[in-house]
Amino acid sequence: MAFSVNTVALLALVFLLSAYLKRRTTKRPPLPPGPPADPFIGHLRIMPSDQQELVFHEWAKTYGDVMHLKVFGHDIIVLDSVQAATELLEKRSALYSDRPNFTVYTTMGWDHNVAFFPYGRRFRKHRKLLQSYLSQQFTVKFRPIQEFNARYLAKGLVENTRDFKYYISRYTISVIMRIAYGHQILSDDDEYMPLVENVAYAQNNGGPPGGTIAEGTAERSFLRTQMESMSGKDLTDEDIQDLKGSAGVLFAAGFDTTSSSLETFVLALLHHPDVQKRGQEEFDRVIGDRLPTFEDYDALPYAGRVTMEVLRWHPSAPLGVPHRAMEDDIYRGMFIPKGAIIIPNAKGMNLDGNVYTKPTEFNPDRFLRKSEGGNEEPPPVATFGFGRRICPGRHLAATNLWIAVATIFATVNITKAKDEGGNEITPEIIFESGVTSRPKAFSCNIVPRSEKMIRIVASESKNPSM
């Protein structure tokens, strides 16, 4: 059979290309291990639609803390240990600081949200705007705002005319609205309350992964500070969108994560009444006749440990926000392909039995020194993310949670609700899935601790002079 010159050349090219690809594939390290996959669709059939963080954590017990999944040609790498997340997302942050495309959230208008930005110039610009305002030193200025709104939270819980979740939402909305935009919510019918809750609902249920201040009447806020810094400059459309977007993400992230953590705190108290008892005993011993302030932080260590355990027991973003590999990489002899979606399983890391004793139990004393009867277990660093994508508002979130926890210990008793027959209702420990996660709906009974405390709350929750 005769072959033309072109045919021979084409066959030679195919042979050389095949040899090259085979040699390259042979030399490339293997992908991380993972569950058996189906042809074409990969792991689609076994991908959980709910409680992904717990399923991934169980798989990690078999396949290790770095797992590979594939769905319709997309590589997914699940990290289930702080060590792996730190070594990749922090020590190699130049390779892992990108984000995948978030089509759903872009469609909902969150394309100006720094949490979803791809890595690059605009991401760095937004981070700079937020970090300068949310540093640990700067957020000390927000303490009067947090303290007042914690008292307003106590007032709502003591009066108890609505479901407790409403007062928790109002507290977190009020703090972050005041800090981000300079507006203090002082009424249950404030026009921003339903708007904010609808926005938060949309953000949380998207699936698991213009005025002037020229008159000087605007309250001090993030938005006012940034606008003043740009005074006299010609603002581009991008500058305006960046201001709106960075203020918006400060608000959205600060509201939803703190409110979900406080609901988790209430759920934990219903299952561990001894925690409430000890928190109240600490308050009575140290303070007693007034409400707590940030000056009491060091004097209320148990409240601090409870706050830390809430953040560990169920992080508000259990799967974090996915990263994206910007280049091929090799880790522990395993190949991580460019474009792979990297999921830092914060919930799995916080349940790591190699780090935390009986990790599913709510135990604030796990953080105590061994000389004090604890295990000296580490703080839950995974809760706020890693590397260049770590949450810029983490200091504000932690202090928001602490002052609310300490105030609740001081002012009310939280017990299980009862059914029509007088039997206690023990809520299940089940959490919703989403970018942020909160306990599934449950009820409880909240009453003031004493008549004296009712008077203290009424006195200290008057309109702020901030």
Q: How many whole angstroms separate alpha carbon 163 and alpha carbon 157?
A: 9
pLDDT above 80 (res 339): yes
CATH of the structural domain 31-209+218-460, one choice from 3.40.50.720, 3.30.2320.50, 1.10.630.10, 3.40.800.10: 1.10.630.10
pLDDT score recorded for residue 135: 77
DSSP letters for 270-324: HH-HHHHHHHHHHHHHHT-SS---GGGTTT-HHHHHHHHHHHHHS-SSTT---EE
Q: How many whole angstroms separate alpha carbon 464 and alpha carbon 445?
A: 29
User: Minimal CA–CA distance to 433: which of 53, 46, 104?
Assistant: 53
User: Minimal CA–CA distance to 136: which of 395, 401, 453, 430?
Assistant: 395
Q: How many whole angstroms separate alpha carbon 274 and alpha carbon 361?
A: 13
Q: Are 111 and 105 in contact (CB under 8 A)?
A: yes
Q: Are 322 and 431 in contact (CB under 8 A)?
A: no
Q: Dihedral sign for Cα 96, 112, 75, 343, please.
A: positive
Q: Kindly report the pTM of this predicted structure.
A: 0.82
CA–CA distances in Å: residue 30 to residues 18, 24, 86, 92 = 19, 12, 21, 20
pLDDT tens sequence across 190-206: 766 665 555 555 555 55
For residue 76, list its beta bridge partners.
Answer: 69, 341
pLDDT score recorded for residue 401: 96
User: Minimal CA–CA distance to 66: which of 338, 335, 381?
Assistant: 335
Q: How many whole angstroms separate alpha carbon 237 and alpha carbon 234?
A: 10
| R_g of the chain, CA atoms, integer Å | 25
Is 444 annotated among the ligand-binding residues?
no
User: Minimal CA–CA distance to 170: which of 151, 375, 83, 214?
Assistant: 151
Specify the amino acid at residue 178: R
pLDDT tens sequence across 265-306: 999 999 999 999 999 999 999 999 999 999 999 999 999 999
pLDDT tens sequence across 224-262: 555 455 554 555 665 556 555 555 555 555 567 889 999
pLDDT tens sequence across 384-435: 999 988 888 888 899 999 999 999 999 999 999 999 999 999 999 999 877 7
For the chain, the straight-line distance linking the first and the last C-alpha, in angstroms and rounded, comes to: 93
